Chains A and B, each alone.
Chain A
């Protein structure tokens, strides 16, 4: 199970680093919102995997919170982009 933990969390860490790189380097606001959405789901996956391997249910509340927060964030950014598009046109 330790090897599975290392492999799985390693994949997730690599995916998260790529997502952060995408947010930082030459991207539009929509791209950043998409990458941020993916980062929250990667973090949720990481919390689920780590708590499943440690058999410790303490971090599951954080995963619930993260799901809600990611949804609110992406909806907010989407509404902001929409209102900005309307103001420009």
Chain B
């Protein structure tokens, strides 16, 4: 029973981590394929929030202690607050170019 639970936990966390990494790869391809700076920002701001969130949830399933999971929660909250603000300021700065 415990082995089955362990396997399920490993598979779910592996899928989450792989999805987050694939998202980062796709966005870096978008960095080359899109035509303007704002279009490129559209591609790169997705892994900044969703990719980090997926990787953090995947890592949190592996940890057993509360302090590491709390740190992961801090990372996710920080990223969810900071990434849109930074992207907004950059988008305002580059204008319509």
User: Measuring CB to CB, which residues of chain A are less than 8 angstroms from any residue of chain B?
Assistant: 1, 4, 7-9, 11-12, 14-16, 18-19, 22, 28, 30-31, 33-35, 37-38, 41-42, 44-45, 48-49, 51-53, 55, 57, 60-61, 63-64, 67-68, 70-71, 74-75, 77-79, 81-82, 85
Contacts and interface: CB of A to CB of B under 8 A. Distances in A.
Secondary structure call for the B interface: helix
10 contacts: A14-B28, A31-B40, A34-B41, A38-B47, A41-B52, A51-B59, A52-B58, A67-B78, A78-B89, A81-B93
Interface residues of B, number: 54
B75 A37 contact: no
A45 B24 contact: yes
B17 A49 contact: yes
Interface string B64-77: 11011001101100
